[in-house]
Chains A and B, each alone.
Chain A
Amino acid sequence: MRVLNRLLAPLAVVGTVVLLAGPAQAAPNDQDTSWVQAAHLSNLAEIAAGNAAQQQATTQEVKDLGAMFVQMHTQLDSALAPVAQQLGIQLQPEPTAEQQAQLKAVQANTGRAFDTAWIAQQIGSHSTTLAATQQELKAGQDPTVLAQAQTATPVVQQHLDELRALAGQYGVPTSVPAGSGGQAADGGLPTSSWALIGVGGAALLAGGAGLVRRRATQA
C-alpha cells in the first residue's frame, strides 16, 4: 500500500494544478485528445476486469490484483476526468464493445482457466495502454495531458510487472495441444492420379456415347 500511495501521490498535485489553472491556454493536439479518450476507456475496462477477477478468480493472487486494478484505475480516472472536461474532450460512458467482448470471452472460462485467461488478457491490455502512454509522452503537446501520462506510466508499468510475475508462476507451456481434427493429415490423391482419371473419364464418355448413339440408330 505504501507503493500505491507513492505512485498515486502525484495525482493529487496534478488534480490541484488542473483545478487552479482555469481555462486551458493551449489547445490539445490530436495525440492528446486520442490518448485521453483511450486512457479513460482503458481505465473503465481495467475496472470492469478487476471486478470480474474478484468475483470469478480461483487464486487469491488474481483476486488481489483485480482489487488493486479497481482502486488504482479509479484514481487515475478521477484525475483524468477534470482534465478532459477542461479541454472539452468527450469521454465514453463505458468500455468499447470490443473491450466488453474480450472480457466476456475471458469470463467464459471456468476454474483455473479463468485465472490464466485473465492474466493473459490483462498483460495484453496493459501493454497496449503503456505503449499508448509512451506515444503520448513522445508526441503529446498539452502540459496537463502530458502530466497525466507521466503519472499513469509507473502505475501501468507496475501492473504489467505484477501480471508478468504472476504469469511466471505458471511457467512456460510444456505442451501445445494444437490440432484435433486430423484434416491436415489427409494426403488426398496425387496429381498423376487426377490426370489418369481425367483422360480415362473422357474416353469412357466418348466410348459410351458412341455405343448409345449406335444402338439408337440401329433401333
Chain B
Amino acid sequence: MGAVLRALNASFPGIRDRVVDEAGRRRPYVNVFVNEEIVMGSLPEAKLKAGDTVHILPSVAGG
C-alpha cells in the first residue's frame, strides 16, 4: 500500500498527505478498503496483489 500511495501521489501531488500523516499513520477519519475489506493495521505495510481494488473513503462523522 505504501507503494500505491507514493504512485498515487505522483499523479495527484499532495494526496498521500491527506490519507496518512507525516509519521505514516492513517488519518483517524479516513478509511481504506482492499476488495471491500477495511484495512485495520499499518496502512503503508498492508499487502496488495495485482487486480485488487482499493477504496479510500472518509468516515461518516462530523458536527
A and B form one complex: no
Interfacial residues, chain A to chain B (CB-CB below 8 A): none
Interfacial residues, chain B to chain A (CB-CB below 8 A): none
